[in-house]
Amino acid sequence: MDDWRYSQKHLLGIEGMHALDINLLLDEAEVYAEHNRQTQKRKAILKGLTQINMFFENSTRTLMSFDLAGKRLGADTISLPVSSSSIKKGETLLDTALTLNAMRPDVIVIRHGSSGAVKLIADNVDCAVINAGDGRHEHPTQALLDALTIRHRKGKIEGLIVAICGDILHSRVARSNIHLLLTLGAIVRLVGPPTLLPPHFADLGASIHHDMESGLKDADIVMMLRLQQERMDGAFLPSTREYFRTFGLTDDKLAHAKPDAVIMHPGPMNRGVEIDTHIADDLKRSGIAEQVEMGVAVRMACLDVLTRDLRAEAADG
């Protein structure tokens, strides 16, 4: 449907999102991916608009690529230096957001450690809000960039077997990917130890595997996740060495997947914990660098699409 218009004001999560909205963002991102390979990358479509990035959790890829995406589209981008902000003086998240809202930004991009924090802000500010990861809840632009990488490598998403492996319980990346991949018709398998993959994940429509052999069998895509120790309160695993032995991606485990399976990881990677270092560096099989590249394109598409109505109104005077 070529004339489909994006149906939401914000991008808070993939759950419940229309397949046409997802495909619209992916198609737009495809064009930006091509554009980003040119030497001259600067466009002016967001000229005069202000983008504020508020990252309350650490980030390399997501923060840099949102900033770069805004700049490549010509927006004025600014990032709140959280560690030296008034949050440290006891200001609440909502008061901080309302303060920034009074500066009249056109887009706010937020990462926060609490699930639901981004929605709270979106409900209380005037501009479009993009979720750059909230707690264990969702990380929608990560799922979109993963989908774009899969489309590039495999030409489609529908019908592919995607194994998402590791610390599913604490992963917003897993949750957003499960929703997106199922919406676009992939077969999703979740693989991990019972402590990090409780049975209720089956309710989302994916199958559950507690061993890599059955989880990876004939998989087209093997998506590895980081052990998110910062979200673990208590002992979820005997040791990381034991974890690597049973769930770390090694050649012998990867042999169960299709010979042309693509290996993915959202980063940051813990080499020797969830993935063998030479597999991570295998340029033919690994899609990890491409995921980062697609991240900029996807974020450009999101910024473009979410400000479209606003820009159209401004053009109409």
Q: Which residues bind ligand NCD (CB under 6 A)?
A: 61-62, 133, 139, 142, 172-173, 226, 228, 266-267
Q: Nearest approach, Cβ of 102 to ligand NCD (angstroms)? A: 29
Q: Nearest approach, Cβ of 174 to ligand NCD (angstroms)? A: 9
Q: Nearest approach, Cβ of 98 to ligand NCD (angstroms)? A: 25
Residue 119 or 256: the one with the smaller Cβ distance to ligand NCD is: 119
Residue nearest to ligand NCD (CB): 226
DSSP labels for the chain? -TT-----S-B--STT--HHHHHHHHHHHHHHHHHTTSS-----TTTT-EEEEEESS--SHHHHHHHHHHHHTT-EEEEE-GGGSGGGGT--HHHHHHHHHTT--SEEEEEESSTTHHHHHHTTSSSEEEEEEETTTB-HHHHHHHHHHHHHHHS--TT-EEEEES--TT-HHHHHHHHHHHHTT-EEEEE--TTTS-GGGGGGT-EEESSHHHHHTT-SEEEE----GGG--S--SS-HHHHHHHHSB-HHHHTTS-TTPEEE--S---BTTTB-HHHHT-TTTB-HHHHHHHHHHHHHHHHHHHTHHHHHHHHH-
At residue 283, φ and ψ (nearest 5 deg) are -60, -30
Residue 10 or 226: the one with the smaller Cβ distance to ligand NCD is: 226
Contact of 280 with 168, CB cutoff 8 Å:
no
Q: Nearest approach, Cβ of 111 to ligand NCD (angstroms)? A: 7
Residue 50 or 142: the one with the smaller Cβ distance to ligand NCD is: 142
Q: Nearest approach, Cβ of 164 to ligand NCD (angstroms)? A: 12
Residue 151 or 226: the one with the smaller Cβ distance to ligand NCD is: 226
Q: Nearest approach, Cβ of 149 to ligand NCD (angstroms)? A: 13
34: tokens are 């091509």
Residue 160 or 168: the one with the smaller Cβ distance to ligand NCD is: 168
Residue 72 or 172: the one with the smaller Cβ distance to ligand NCD is: 172
Q: Could you give the strand order of the β-sheet that contains 107-112, starting from the edge strand earlier in sequence?
A: 76-80, 50-55, 107-112, 128-134
Residue 142 or 307: the one with the smaller Cβ distance to ligand NCD is: 142
Q: Nearest approach, Cβ of 225 to ligand NCD (angstroms)? A: 6
Q: Nearest approach, Cβ of 176 to ligand NCD (angstroms)? A: 9
Contact of 230 with 167, CB cutoff 8 Å:
no
Q: Nearest approach, Cβ of 103 to ligand NCD (angstroms)? A: 26
| Strand-pair category, 107-112 with 50-55 | parallel
Residue 70 or 133: the one with the smaller Cβ distance to ligand NCD is: 133
Residue 188 or 294: the one with the smaller Cβ distance to ligand NCD is: 294
Task: Give the whole-angstrom CA distance, residue 317 versus residue 131.
Answer: 30
